[in-house]
């Protein structure tokens, strides 16, 4: 009972109807609000971008692999990029070589 919210808090959050409104009016208002939310969701789902548009915007990856393997494929690609970068950095000339070549 100590954790129970007060009636005023419930009214402010829209869980409990306001004091001086008839219950039928509060119920109708709640029903209309749900219908409005449903209409908005339906409209957003109708205008939802297709898979190809999501791939073009780099939201989804263009992969033909099985969905259960896509995470491993992404991790493998990331590991290959790290190896390539490490290899490139290892072969990069040092500061002495850059001074000798009059670059620094």
Give the pTM.
Answer: 0.46
Model confidence over 63-80: pLDDT tens digits? Answer: 888 888 888 988 999 999
Please check whether residues 35 and 72 belong to one and the same domain. no
User: How many Å apart are CA 53 and CA 47, to the nearest integer?
Assistant: 12
Instruction: For residue 64, give the DSSP letter.
Output: -
Range of the domain at 93: 65-104
User: How many Å apart are CA 95 and CA 3, to the nearest integer?
Assistant: 66
Please check whether residues 74 and 33 belong to one and the same domain. no
pLDDT at 1 over 70: no
In a domain? residue 6: yes
Please check whether residues 39 and 1 belong to one and the same domain. yes
Model confidence over 23-68: pLDDT tens digits? Answer: 788 788 889 999 999 999 999 999 999 989 999 998 988 888 888 8
């Amino acid at each position: 009972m100590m954790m129970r919210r007060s009636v005023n808090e419930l009214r402010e959050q829209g869980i409990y109807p306001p004091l001086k409104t008839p219950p039928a009016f509060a119920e109708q208002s709640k029903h209309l609000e749900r219908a409005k939310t449903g209409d908005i969701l339906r409209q957003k789902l109708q205008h939802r971008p297709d898979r190809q548009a999501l791939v073009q915007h780099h939201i989804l990856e263009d992969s033909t692999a099985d969905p259960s393997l896509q995470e491993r494929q992404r991790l493998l690609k990331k590991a290959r990029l790290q190896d390539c970068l490490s290899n490139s950095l290892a072969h990069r000339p040092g500061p002495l070589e850059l001074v000798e070549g009059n670059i620094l």
